[in-house]
Chain A
């Protein structure tokens, strides 16, 4: 069974870049789509964007100007960079896989999430 694990700094300063990595185990990152989702404490879920193992991406227009998602198939990892962060970007960040290798699909496997705080 596929397992995902987020990693990265839990504290980022305002105006700096948030950088997270999702490591996929128990399966190959190839031939699948992978998403990042975030959830501010006590609030709902917001989709950030997805990447295909080939490197093609699709982002939430509300974040597109600040988001970069990349993939490293040799390490079975994909990554998120969010620039110019503010307090509004504080959230638990999740990585997840798309069902059946489809872009337009629900999300079947999720990481446990990583809490990112934005503070100087």
Chain B
């Protein structure tokens, strides 16, 4: 299984400041034949299902604010929120779909400082 490890486990950032969440996979999730990273980011608020933010590591889902961006390749990935808003308080998960079983990171809790 590919193990996804997120850091930090929790993060407190001031409103309007940048938030950065990291995700490391135990093996590469870059599929060389199409040069795509099989990596997704989700946002989950209490009592709600996860919401897709970013797929293919850096493609923003339709309707997701452009303050959310994804970067990285191979085994190291980052989700960046450029200017934190109050509504961004949530738990964020990365997920790989390079191989079965599909696996998720343990989650990063983002709070307001």
Closest A residue, CB atoms, query B31: A104
Q: Tally chain A residues at the interface, Cβ within 8 Å.
A: 22
Query: For B95, what are the chain A residues with a Cβ–Cβ distance below 8 Å?
Result: 45, 106-107
Tell me the number of A-to-B contacts counted with CB atoms below 8 Å: 55
Contact segment of B11-19, B48-56, B74-82:
B48-56
Q: Are B52 and A106 in contact (CB under 8 A)?
A: yes
**Known contacts A44-B93, A44-B107: A108-B52 contact under CB 8 Å:** yes
Q: How far is the CB of A7 from chain B (nearest CB, A)?
A: 15
User: Using a CB–CB distance below 8 Å, which chain A residues touch chain B?
Assistant: 35, 44-47, 50, 58, 60-62, 94, 96, 99, 104-108, 110-113
Listed A/B pairs (19) with beta-carbon separation below 8 Å: A35-B102, A44-B106, A45-B93, A45-B95, A46-B104, A58-B100, A60-B101, A61-B1, A94-B49, A96-B49, A104-B38, A104-B98, A105-B97, A106-B40, A106-B97, A107-B40, A107-B42, A107-B95, A108-B55
